[in-house]
Amino acid sequence: MDAQGNPINTETSLCQSADTKMGGGNRIIFNNQLQNIGAEITSGIDINLAYTFDAVGLGWKMGLDSTILLENESIILGESIDYAGVITSGSGGFAKYKTNFDLGVEGDSWGAHYQARYISGMDSYVCQSEPSTCYAPSTDSIVYHDISASYFLSNTWAISAGVNNLLDEDAPYYTGNNDDRGYNRGACTGKKLG
């Protein structure tokens, strides 16, 4: 409502459904019910490859898991938004490409594991209309490297240790949004991816 009691932001379906009006005693009355997502359409390609083999007296395992997000569309009150490749304010980040590569090796009483985690760059949803007004409107792609090792004390007990983000990669910043599912907290101007 503006200073004269007239509704504002009436061009969106969400604001229209709030049915905002002035009530008695200069109180603003509005519909504060949760809005239902009319539809959600997600499509993509998942790839999983696994290979095991023995070489130089050791057991080896390799794996590749990839997701290619083609579309992640939400339709709310007739408005359609495709979130593929976007970081949103409340629904998380939807990288178009994510891949994990795993390599493991085992001897009689020990094992070692390496993993590379790739996340493609994304655009901040709040910066899409005017990226020049944002400090960091998008993120670069990043790869994290993890290692671990285990010593098998018996068939049921093992001692393990590892390092996530072995190369201590700094997560890229992006502007805006208050959602940190899948992301590390950043400075007050943005978030950290990773």
pTM of the model: 0.69
Residue ranges in the chain whose pLDDT is less than 70 = 1, 9, 12-17, 31-37, 89-90, 176-194
pLDDT, residue 92, reads: 76
Q: CA separation (Å) from 45 to 42, 98, 159, 166, 191?
A: 10, 11, 37, 29, 28
* DSSP-assigned states of every residue in 61-89: EEEEEEEEEEEEEEEETTEEEE-TTEE-S
Three-state SS at 187: coil
What are the tens digits of pLDDT across the range 155-182? 899 999 999 999 998 877 777 644 343 3
Contact 118, 141 (CB under 8 A): yes
